[in-house]
Amino acid sequence: MPLLVSRGRIIRRSMTCLCLTHSLTQTHNPFPSSLHNNRNSLFQFFSAILRPSIRPFSAKFKGSSSALMANFNADSVTYLTQREAAEIDETLMGPLGFSVDQLMELAGLSVAASISEVYKPTEHGRILTICGPGNNGGDGLVAARHLHHFGYKPFVCYPKRTPKPLYSGLVTQLEALSIPFLSVEELPSDLSNDFDILVDAMFGFSFHGSPRPPFDYLIQRLVSLHDNDQIDKKRPFIVSVDIPSGWHVEEGDVDGTGIKPDMLVSLTAPKLGAKKFGGPHHFLGGRFVPPAIAEKYKLVLPPYPGTSMCVRIGKPPQIDISALRENYISPEFLEEQVEADPINQFRKWFDDAMAAGLKEPNAMALSTVGKDGKPSSRMVLLKGLDKDGFVWYTNYESRKARELSENPRASLLFYWDGLNRSVRVEGPVQKVSDEESEEYFHSRPRGSQIGAIVSKQSTVVPGRHVLYQEYKELEQKYADGSMIPRPNWGGYRLTPQLFEFWQGQKSRLHDRLQYTPHEINGQRLWKIERLAP
């Protein structure tokens, strides 16, 4: 086991989870022997360490979290040496009273929170966490538990289990959640087919030397994912905990042949090697740095927004828009599988969007054209669907209402990103009956009814305060529960004359099935045709 000299003392190190959970499983005595014999000296020592007059590292930032981040200079972030990281851990678990399991819990939660900030469980739900034998691996075990509760489907590869009670307890917690453990031999030959995210929690900041089996093999598996990139194949994203396994803590990926993570979650403060990180997402986790440590190490770290356990370090990378590309992986959408009636097919897809938990699956882009020939689009919400068409509601004096009075035709576009699907509908539009509009208006929450009166949609407003003031006045006027009169506001119904169902596919060979009406023996039927992608 490698040794570390810290504050004139020799401390045995293990593979750790980084600054948050250094491998000090026993608390070392950080005090000079004289302090043990002098209560006044001991009191003075603690007073110096924990003095409340020391300003927290983020004390100079005032205002909202977004304002804090806007005012923060990302280039000023402090990066720690290996020795500084070890010293901070020793202090945290010495005079500052943290335990290793407490820090590990905070670290794992920070990793899980960082992942959820970028990769949503509906799109990237299958996660393999590869855990090493030290505290870095412990962070990975904790993260897997939190990811399960966040709605992901985690798997764990933990080939060299640590027999200490802390780690055994973490394993028991995961087993109680029925989270699968996979041996190295059970891992699929192609990780891309079975996982969306790979969490690298093998080695922390105090690991030295070359990785030994099976971790050398596992690291190479992660490295090879970049070597084997294919245009028509999605690879899993790699998330490294504090330091990509195999990197030099201070010099980074020295020879350029190491893991190239898409996300790095630094803990407590980033290590010097993290300066070589070139991926798109660098987060900081471990929201607990006390003023004494911030002052001693002159830490400059970004303020955490709100109640979040993580914060992005620096700005998101500049993206070449022309290079943005998604290779859709979807089931085939075939003519012989679809409903003969497009309304029924729409309902099936809409039910799928609901079951997938997509946000506002009834959101649709409504496009209209006025007499000037200029098209305009806006997002509205579908509020009714029957054999006669699609219904939405709006102010009858809005721009879309004016354009529909001049040209009573429109198109609707639904897009369900999580399913790689969209539906386009075109046809004539007419107002629904006053009775239908009245019934729907009074079914809405009273606040929404008052809001419809306040909003003279599409007109110029001097400021938000004007809307707020009128809203408060009307709220008081109808505080007795009396009926709120419907303003010049109501519904429209689009009667479909064309449907197009789009399903994203690999290599841009998308499925597009178009429905158009035609009559056979006086009966209105729908003709289904495949369009080129």
The 3-state DSSP class for residue 393 equals strand
Element (H, E) at 390: strand 389-395
| pLDDT number for residue 60 | 39
Q: Is 209 annotated as a binding residue?
A: yes
Q: Are 392 and 492 in contact (CB under 8 A)?
A: yes
Q: Check whether 245 is labelled as a binding-site residue.
A: yes
Query: The pTM is what?
Result: 0.55
C-alpha distance from residue 4 to each of 12, 85, 116, 205, 345 (Å)? 6, 11, 35, 12, 66
**Unique residue bearing structure tokens 């009307």:** 474
Give all strands (DSSP E) within 192-304, no chain letters. Answer: 197-201, 237-241, 263-267, 281-285
Among residues 409, 508, 512, 530, which one is catalytic?
508
The per-residue pLDDT of the chain, averaged, comes to 86
Q: What DSSP designation does 358 have?
A: -
Query: Annotation-wise, does 279 bind a ligand?
Result: no
Length of the chain: 533
Whether 11 contacts 3, CB under 8 Å: yes
Architecture of domain 72-316: 3-Layer(aba) Sandwich (3.40)
Report yes or no: 24 and 89 within 8 Å, Cβ to Cβ: yes
Please tell us whether the domain made up of 342-433+490-530 is placed in CATH 2.30.110.10: yes
Helix H or strand E encompassing 530? strand 523-530
Asked whether the CA dihedral 267, 268, 272, 278 is positive or negative, the reply is positive
Calpha distance 250→83 (Å, rounded):
10
Q: Cα separation of 384 and 134, whole Å?
A: 57
CB 214 within 8 A of CB 159: yes
Contacts of 77 (CB under 8 A, 6+ apart): 269, 270, 300, 301, 302, 313, 314
- Give the tens place of pLDDT for each residue, 122-166: 999 999 999 999 999 999 999 999 999 999 999 999 999 999 999
Mean pLDDT, residues 327-355:
95
State how far the Cα of 511 lies from the Cα of 530, in Å rounded to an integer: 8
At residue 356, what are phi and psi to the nearest 5 degrees? Answer: -80, -5
How far CA 473 is from CA of 412, 446, 453, 467, in Å, comes to: 36, 14, 12, 10
- For residue 63, the model assigns a pLDDT of 44
Tell me 192's DSSP state.
Answer: H
Q: Any known ligand binding at 136?
A: yes
Per mean pLDDT, which range of 227-236, 348-357, 375-384, 464-473 is the poorest?
A: 227-236
Report yes or no: 265 and 241 within 8 Å, Cβ to Cβ: yes
Q: Is 137 assigned a ligand-binding role in the annotation?
A: yes
Burial class (CB in 10 A: 0-12, 13-18, 19+), 132: buried
The amino acid that residue 183 corresponds to is S
**508 in active site:** yes
> Per the annotation, does 89 bind a ligand?
no
Q: CA 103 to CA 286: how far, in whole Å? A: 8
Count of C-beta atoms within a 10 Å radius of residue 153: 14
Does the structure show a pLDDT above 80 at 15?
no
Q: Confirm or deny that 204 is annotated as ligand binding.
A: yes
Q: Is 242 annotated as a binding residue?
A: yes
Choice among 64-68, 170-174, 347-351, 382-386 with the minimum mean pLDDT: 64-68
373 is in an annotated binding site: no
Domain ranges of the chain: 72-316, 342-433+490-530
Backbone torsions φ then ψ of 6, nearest 5 degrees: -140, 125
Using the predicted structure, report yes or no on whether residue 408 has a pLDDT greater than 80: yes
Tell me if domain 72-316 and domain 342-433+490-530 are identical in fold.
no
138 labelled as ligand-binding? Answer: yes
Residue 243, helix vs strand vs coil: coil
What span, in angstroms and rounded, lies between the C-alpha atoms of 374 and 379?
17
Listed in sequence order, the DSSP H helices in 257-398 are: 291-296, 342-355
Distance CA 180, CA 80 (A): 36
Please tell me whether residue 312 adopts helix, strand or coil conformation.
Answer: strand
Helix axes 100-118, 165-176, angle to 10 degrees: 40
Q: Is 174 exposed, middle or buried (0-12, 13-18, 19+ CB in 10 A)?
A: buried
Do the annotations mark residue 116 as ligand-binding?
no
Mean pLDDT of 421-444: 97
Distance CA 239, CA 254 (A): 19
In the numeric block, which tokens belong to residue 11?
């401390």
407 carries a ligand binding annotation: no
More confident residue, 40 or 273: 273
Alpha-carbon dihedral sign for residues 432, 438, 442, 443? negative
Q: Which of 23-37, 69-83, 499-513 has the highest mean pLDDT?
A: 499-513
| Range in 279-283, 458-462, 479-483, 520-524 the model is least confident about | 520-524
Asked if residue 488 belongs to a known ligand binding site, the reply is no
Kindly state the average pLDDT of the residues 34-62: 39
